Amino acid sequence: MLEIKGLRKTYNNKIVLNDISIELDSGINVIVGLNGTGKSTLLKSISGIIKVDSGKIILKKRDITNLPPEKRNIGYVPQQPYLFAHMNIRDNIMYGLKKKSQMSDEIKEAVEFLDMEKYLDLKPSELSGGYKSRTSLLRALAIKPELMILDEPTSSLDIYSKRILIPYFKSILNKFNIPAIYVTHDPWEGNEIGDNFIFLSEGKLIKTNSSDEAFLRIKKYLA
């Protein structure tokens, strides 16, 4: 699905991504790691927000290394939803599309699945954090992405909201058969949503068998 070859990125002579090479499978790929180990840099490199020093990023056999973000067809769900306050929820969802006249049948189905129909005419300030996160997910889905990147999308939510939302996120990604990269600091969340698990440390990606195993590696680094 996604192949990363020799990816390298430095900031002020500090190596952040150290010659990373890995193939990520279809399904939901959970990435965990200590703060400052390069998770955000990796996600921004894949999505095209930042330019890498060297290496290649290949999505479904298409070299996207030097393409601008809008040409990569990647949906991005950030830690904070960053919704447009002056737009209603419908317009926020449709923002990334060139033709915003009407929702596709697939997005209508997703809106219904996520229980968002009654909120479409409201403004973001009228929604709870959980429903803002659902809106952010729907906006990323609306462009029909080949890959979804979710950067700690539930980090601002309380435990109760998170436990309601995670099954929705997993179900909708599986329903639309969209491969994903999902970053989290929560072992329960990782195991609940993930299909594949990767540990990021010292600029290297290491595949593990579970979210628990990946987080155990973090504990060893902190010991």
Residue 204's CB is within 10 A of a number of other CB atoms, namely 16
Segment 56-83, tens digit of pLDDT: 999 999 999 999 999 999 999 998 888 9
Q: Where are the domains of the chain?
A: 25-49+68-222
List, for residues 74-126, the tens digit of each pLDDT value: 999 998 888 999 999 999 999 988 665 678 888 999 999 999 999 999 999 99
Residue-wise pLDDT tens digits, 28-52: 999 988 777 888 899 999 999 999 9
Q: What is the mean pLDDT of residues 171-182?
A: 93
CATH fold group of domain 25-49+68-222? Rossmann fold (3.40.50)
Please report, rounded to a whole number, the percentage of residues in the chain having pLDDT higher than 70.
Answer: 96
Report which of 173, 180, 68 is spatially closest to residue 114, judged by C-alpha positions: 173
pTM for the whole thing?
A: 0.91
Query: For the chain, what is the mean pLDDT?
Result: 90
56: left (phi over 0), alpha (psi -120 to 50) or beta: beta
d(CA 151, CA 29): 12
What was the pLDDT predicted at 43?
Answer: 94
